[in-house]
A and B are shown apart, each in its own frame.
Chain A
Amino acid sequence: MIDVKNLSKSFGDNLVLNDISEHIYPGDKVVIIGPSGSGKSTFLRCLNLMEYPSSGTITFDGVETTDPKVNIDEVRRKMGMVFQHFNLFPNMTIKKNITLAPVRTKLMTQAEADEKAMQLLRRVGLEEKADAYPSQLSGGQKQRIAIVRALAMNPKVILFDEPTSALDPEMVGEVLAVMKELAEEGMTMVVVTHEMGFAREVGNRVLFMDEGKIVEQGTPAEVFGNPKHPRLQDFLSKVL
């Protein structure tokens, strides 16, 4: 579904991603782990071109998204993204946050989008917040809304960029529960996270990144049960 070939990205002289090739299949739940500065977030952000690769190509759904002629907005409509800091729009109600993009991109009429928003809000148990503003919500609630906002576009894949890192510990669970539910429904997901429990339970593949490369990958059982690379062993000994 997403094919990454020889992807490199540097910020100035700093090489953040070093010649990565990887494929993400439909229904995959790929969890990316690694020490900070290893390039995991940059890799994820390259997938929907929040960052432009310095070299290499990315093909999504048969479209080479790194081609400058491609309309990147159309690509992104099929690729949801959930951010570490939620990035809800504080100047709009929750419902408007969710319906703005589907309506403006002419994916749905306002009525259809409203209905879809309410249906999704019910699913995450936040329908009574439809007319509230983001500032009235807790972190966990904001992140659940952010997931709903991404879902409202009916994306084929959702990218999660450390979705629980900015949350108070007692709110991590409610967000992970929503993500787990999504995974069970078969959504294709790429998740950068520090939640090893989630990686183990939900991921079907775990990628370990270090210094801009995918150093080791495999099923959670392989990666957590039998790490081979010394950097991974070192990393796991520190986080587990």
Chain B
Amino acid sequence: MEQYLQWKELLRAGEDLPFWQEFYVKFYQAFIEADRWKQYLEGVGSTLMVTALALVIGVILGVLVAIVRTAHDQQRPGRHNPILGVFNGICQVYVTIIRGTPMLVQLLIMGFVIFSTSREYTAIGILTLGINSGAYVAEIIRGGLMSLDPGQMEAGRSLGLNYIDTMRFIVIPQAFKAILPSLGNEFITLLKDTALIYTIGGEELVYAAKAISTRTYEQMFPLVGSALIYLALVLIFTWLQGLLERRLRQSDRR
């Protein structure tokens, strides 16, 4: 501690310190001084919370959109439901716009145009990420439903089960297993994309890192530090995803 303060003074006076001394000072300053590690920890907490909430919004939206679009595509010819047609149109526009524009632009529009008077930056960020993720989740789910052998749907329907029952008992349980890897990837993408909400003032890990660097006038340690934290989080979730998939695969070989 004493040593740190002494070296810090020297560094501030423009003295040339040996590399390891300079490293020590900057590291200490970025992570330990004034209990700054707590700020990163809080940042990780809010990053995880933002991810989780955005994922919930994304999955709900995605399931709804996927159901509407799949049901619309699988209608009996000559029996098109006009209401479903309208919803399908809305869903298509939604998916097209979200997937066709950069997430950063969506965030900026939400933060500075649509909700320009609101100060709930993090909430706006969560909402935007959720809406964005919903479009991707919808396509993942739709792909999963479509990829299942059409014979499964036919077998269910040939027994006189209606569309909804066939979906519920036969198609969806099987599709769920098939889309789990893609959903896991979407979750990991989302986890990293939460960093973007910093641009509209949302509070998460990057926000914490930037707050520290503006106090210490030192960019590298907080930024590289947060990058390493993201990497660690992604590695943990990738590992968990692998565990889950292995368990599901085991149940295939019953």
Q: Which residues of A are in contact with B by a Cβ distance under 8 Å?
A: 48, 50, 52, 68, 72-81, 83, 85, 87-92, 100-101, 104-105, 133, 135-136, 149-150, 153
Contacts and interface: CB of A to CB of B under 8 A. Distances in A.
A157 B144 CA distance: 34
Interface stretch (B7-15, B44-52, B74-82, B222-230): B74-82
Interface string B26-40: 000000000000000
B253 A135 contact: yes
13 contacts: A74-B160, A76-B158, A77-B160, A81-B155, A83-B154, A87-B149, A88-B155, A89-B155, A89-B169, A91-B173, A100-B161, A100-B169, A150-B158
B154 A73 contact: no
Specify which of B76, B149, B159 lies most central, judged by the most chain A CB atoms within 10 Å of its CB: B159
Interface in B103-130: none
B70 to A, nearest CB: 18
A73 B174 contact: no
B165 interface: yes
Contacts of B156: 89, 101
A68 B76 contact: yes
A222 B162 CA distance: 42
Given A68-B76, A68-B78, A72-B76, A150 B152 contact: no
Interface residues of B, number: 24
B157 A50 contact: yes
Contact of B154 (A50, A68, A88, A100): A50
Interface in B51-80: 76-79
Contacts of B151: 83, 85, 87
A135 B154 contact: no
A100 B254 CA distance: 20
B160 A89 contact: no
Contact of A133 (B79, B152, B169, B254): B254
A153 B160 contact: yes
B170 A91 contact: yes
Contacts of A72: 76
B252 A135 contact: yes
Contact of A73 (B78, B149, B160, B169): B160
A76 B157 contact: yes
Given A50-B154, A133-B254, A136-B254, A104 B161 contact: yes
B27 to A, nearest CB: 53
A81 B160 CA distance: 10
B79 A101 contact: no
Contacts of B159: 76-77, 80, 100-101, 105, 149-150, 153
Contact of A104 (B76, B169, B173): B169
Interface in B164-214: 165, 169-170, 173-174
A52 to B, nearest CB: 5
A36 to B, nearest CB: 18
A81 B169 CA distance: 19
B76 A90 contact: no
Contacts of A52: 76-78
B239 to A, nearest CB: 27
Interface centre among A74, A79, A87, A92 (most CB of B within 10 A): A87
B77 to A, nearest CB: 5
Given A87-B149, A87-B155, A101 B173 contact: no
Contacts of A135: 252-254
A158 B77 CA distance: 24
Contacts of A91: 170, 173-174
B69 to A, nearest CB: 21
Given A73-B161, A89-B170, 20 more contacts: A48-B158, A50-B157, A68-B76, A73-B160, A77-B159, A80-B159, A83-B151, A83-B154, A83-B155, A85-B151, A87-B149, A87-B155, A88-B155, A89-B174, A91-B173, A91-B174, A100-B169, A135-B253, A136-B254, A150-B158
A150 B156 CA distance: 10
B136 to A, nearest CB: 26
B152 A87 contact: yes
A14 to B, nearest CB: 16
Nearest to A77: B160
Contacts of B157: 50, 73, 76
Contacts of A83: 151, 154-155, 158
Contacts of A68: 76, 78-79
Nearest to B174: A91
A52 B152 CA distance: 18
